[in-house]
Each structure stands twice: as C-alpha cells, then as structure tokens.
Amino acid sequence: MDKNLPGGSSSSLSLFEKIREKLSGIPTVFLVFLAVLFVTLVLGGTYILLSPDVSPKSLLEKLLKKEQLHQGIEVDKNIWEPAKPPIKPLAHGKQTYLVSGGKKGAPKPTEVVIDPLDPAQGATQSATVKVLAMEAGPVTKVSIQLITDSKNKIYPLQLTSGTDLDGIWGATWVMEDSYNYKYQMAIKAENAQDSWSVTLTFR
C-alpha cells in the first residue's frame, strides 16, 4: 500500500506530529491542569443534565444567595411573605380603667380592673367590673368578650361583692392565645329590659 496515497496513515501521522510540535512548547503541568479541568466540566455538566434534583436555576440561586451573604446582605427566606407590623408596647401587671358614657335604661359599667394585663400564654388572668343598675332595675348579667390574635371567647362574670344594683362582678380564666397584634375586651352589662357594652382596646 502506498504511504503517500490520500487518506493513508501518513496524513494521520503528520497531523499528530503537528499537534505534538505545537504542544511541545507548553509546560506539562499546564497541560495536565487543562486535561483535569476539561474532564471536571464534562462530568459536572453530565451530572447536572441527568440529575432530577439539580438544575442550572437552582445552582444559580445558591450562588446568588452565597454572594449576598458574603457581602452582608440579608437574604429573605420568602420574598412574598408580608412584613408584620411592630408589636405595640403594653402596660405591665394590674391595670384599672374608668369607663365613661352609658345608655339610658341599661346598667352601666363604671370601672374595670384587669390583673394582669399582660399574662403569659397559658397563665391565668382575672377581671372585675363595677356595675351600677342606674334607674332601670337590677343587673341580671355581666360578661367579658376577650378578643385576641386568633380567638374570640366570652366569659360570664359572677357577682363577688355588693348587690345587683351596685356591685362588683368578676371572673378568672386562662389566657389561651397570643395577643401580639389584636387584644380587646368588650364588657357587657344587662338587665331585664336592655343592655350596654363598652370595648377596651389594648392592641
């Protein structure tokens, strides 16, 4: 077989010799580095394409968050989560509130004592209400509606001192809910003919 024929082994050999001559001037260490880098890129790209848990988008997000943390930028866990308003300060311990106003023909709460105003969740809280019957007849019922972050409960009060014409009504309960953003007490006093209520808003 003629070695000079087109497509023969001599042309392949000469091409190999030309490549070897061009690479002979490059340091061996650099060539090894390029070879390792090429293999790493091929294997990494193959893994990303074939793995169901890895995508270019997720890798980009991780790199972006890492860069933000490196620069001291706070990364939100969920950018769509609405920001909560700051918690308003609350008076501590036992608090007394004087009630003004009233309704003709209905009993009138005049003073409310809450102890404490800021109980821990799961702790007990008590309230006493001074109620006057006025001219409409004796008080038949007094209750407190407690409105907190996620609950709305009504607690009946019992006459603890005085009379149903001028007396102190009270009750004790367990604070079952948080009250960081919503905290109200509606006091309602009733007689046989009518009722009147007043709402204390703390938050």
Residues 121 and 168 grouped into a single domain: yes
Residues 103 and 59 grouped into a single domain: no
Residues 101 and 195 grouped into a single domain: yes
User: What does the pLDDT read at residue 51?
Assistant: 62
Do 131 and 107 touch, CB atoms closer than 8 A?
A: yes
Amino acid at 135: E
Residues 41 and 131 grouped into a single domain: no
Q: Which domain holds residue 178?
A: 95-201
User: What does the pLDDT read at residue 22?
Assistant: 66
Q: What whole-number distance in Å separates Cα of residue 143 and Cα of residue 33?
A: 82
User: What does the pLDDT read at residue 114?
Assistant: 98
User: What does the pLDDT read at residue 130?
Assistant: 98
Residues 19 and 101 grouped into a single domain: no
Does residue 104 form part of some domain?
Answer: yes
Encode pLDDT of 23-56 as tens digits: 666 677 776 777 788 888 877 767 666 665 556 6
Report CA Rg, the chain.
Answer: 40
Does residue 75 form part of some domain?
Answer: no
Q: What whole-number distance in Å separates Cα of residue 78 and Cα of residue 110?
A: 48
CATH code for position 183 = 2.60.40.10
User: What does the pLDDT read at residue 81?
Assistant: 63
State the DSSP code for 122. T
Tokens 């003004």 locate to 100
CA angle (99, 104, 105) in 5-degree steps: 110
Amino acid at 155: Y
State the pairing for strand pair 152-162/108-115: unpaired
Bridge partner residues of 130 (DSSP): 111, 168
Does residue 88 form part of some domain?
Answer: no
Does residue 116 form part of some domain?
Answer: yes
DSSP line for 17-52: HHHHHHHTTS-HHHHHHHHHHHHHHHHHHHHHHH-T
Count of structural domains within the chain:
2
Residues 114 and 191 grouped into a single domain: yes
Residues 119 and 50 grouped into a single domain: no
Where is 66: in which H helix or E strand?
helix 56-70
Residues 190 and 105 grouped into a single domain: yes
| Sheet containing 139-147, strands listed edge to edge, beginning at the edge strand earlier in sequence | 95-98, 108-115, 124-132, 166-174, 152-162, 139-147, 184-191, 195-201
Q: Which residues of the chain have pLDDT under 70?
A: 1-13, 15-26, 31, 45, 47-60, 62-81
Residues 62 and 101 grouped into a single domain: no
User: What does the pLDDT read at residue 83?
Assistant: 77
